């Protein structure tokens, strides 16, 4: 017996379901960010007192990865700028219990407090980049040739040449007092992004901003992210937002 064709009602309902799924998937992307051209020189000193930083857009909304039902999200502000030499990144992290795991470069710094930036310059190409910075200024940077090619131990030897400065408002590693927070400022040389399309007006990369926060105030470490949801941790670049370069000052 031949199958009966779908009625018009069923076609409409199926279309609605498909459209709804597409809409839901779209909402899982991180925020788009307009990365403005630095109007003045940026001194990497952790102060963020240049006029260019005051004009940079702010990312302030973060979502929990762990624990998923976190009732508190540590206030965090991320800003980015660029010029012909560098991508500039700033984290301002409220933190009542600052703790850097290690002062050794390319150590497993995420075992303590860190700010993290992931950059994937091309959706069509596999390579992407991770920059992890502790309150004390130690950094892990890695260039992953693909997500399946290995992780920390394979790629920790790569160096981006990033210049970093941090400032701590409190005491690093002393849980007896109440800290206020820390600031990270860094300049990532554009030449570190091997083979990537050079920033110019309208050029788009993708990114995600993240943070590990270990605190005497939490039962377990708080992991937060600029993307709304991730089934596979911070390396889930399918959810990264667009980093849109703007040349107008």
Average pLDDT on 94-121 reads 98
Nearest to 193 by CA among 126, 115, 128: 128
Look at residue 17 and tell me whether its pLDDT is greater than 90.
no
Residue 28 in any domain: the answer is: no
Closest by alpha carbon to 138, among 182, 104, 99, 169? 104
pTM of full prediction above 0.75: yes
Average pLDDT over residues 148-155: 93
Domain annotation covers residue 25? no
Per-residue pLDDT reduced to its tens digit, 42-61: 999 999 999 999 999 999 99
pLDDT, position 88: 98
Contact status, residue 129 vs residue 120, Cβ threshold 8 Å = yes
Q: How confident is the model at residue 10 (pLDDT cuts 50, 70, 90)?
A: very low
Q: Which residue segment(s) compose the domain that 109 sits in?
A: 33-246
Q: What is the CATH number of the domain that holds 196?
A: 2.60.40.1190
Residues 6+ apart with CB under 8 A from 102: 108, 109, 111, 112, 134, 138
Q: Which two tokens stand for residue 29?
A: 């992307």
Q: How many domains does the chain have?
A: 1
16 lies in a domain?
Answer: no
Distance CA 247, CA 202 (A): 8
Does 79 map to a domain?
Answer: yes
What percent of the chain has pLDDT above 90?
Answer: 85
| Terminal Cα distance for the chain, rounded | 69
The model's pLDDT over 23-34, given as tens digits with 9 standing for 90+, comes to 344 447 899 999
Band the pLDDT of 128: cuts 50, 70, 90: very high
Confidence of residue 249 (pLDDT cuts 50, 70, 90): low
CA dihedral sign, ordered 43, 48, 53, 59 = positive
**What pLDDT, on the 0 to 100 scale, is given for residue 22?**
41
The residues, any chain, with a CB within 8 Å of residue 176's CB and separated by 6 or more, are: none
1 assigned to some structural domain: no
Give pLDDT tens digits for 211-236.
Answer: 999 999 999 999 999 999 999 999 99
- Give the mean model confidence (pLDDT) for residues 1-16: 36
Query: Would you say residue 3 lies in a domain?
Result: no
In this structure, is residue 158 part of a structural domain?
yes
Q: For 77-92, what is the mean pLDDT?
A: 98
């Amino acid at each position: 017996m031949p199958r009966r064709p779908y009625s018009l009602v069923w076609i409409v309902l199926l279309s609605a379901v498909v459209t709804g799924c597409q809409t839901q998937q779209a909402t899982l992307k991180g925020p788009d960010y307009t990365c403005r051209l630095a109007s003045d020189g940026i001194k990497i000193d952790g102060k963020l007192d240049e006029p260019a930083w005051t004009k940079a857009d702010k990312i302030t909304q973060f979502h929990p990865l762990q624990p998923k039902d976190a009732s508190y999200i540590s206030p965090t502000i991320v800003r980015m700028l660029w010029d012909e030499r560098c991508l500039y990144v700033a984290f301002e992290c409220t933190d009542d219990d600052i703790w850097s795991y290690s002062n050794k470069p390319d150590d497993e710094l995420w075992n303590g407090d860190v700010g993290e930036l992931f950059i994937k310059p091309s959706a069509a190409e596999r390579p992407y980049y991770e920059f992890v910075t502790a309150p004390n200024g130690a950094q892990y940077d890695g260039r992953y040739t693909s997500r399946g090619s290995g992780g920390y131990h394979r790629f920790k030897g790569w160096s981006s040449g990033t210049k970093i400065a941090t400032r701590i408002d409190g005491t690093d590693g002393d849980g007896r007092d109440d800290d206020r927070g820390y600031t990270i400022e860094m300049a990532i040389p554009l030449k570190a992004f091997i083979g990537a399309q050079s920033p110019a007006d309208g050029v788009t990369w993708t990114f995600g901003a993240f943070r590990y926060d270990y605190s005497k105030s939490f039962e377990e470490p708080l992991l937060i992210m600029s993307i709304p949801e991730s089934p596979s941790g911070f390396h889930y670049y399918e959810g990264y937002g667009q980093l849109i370069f703007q040349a107008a000052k």
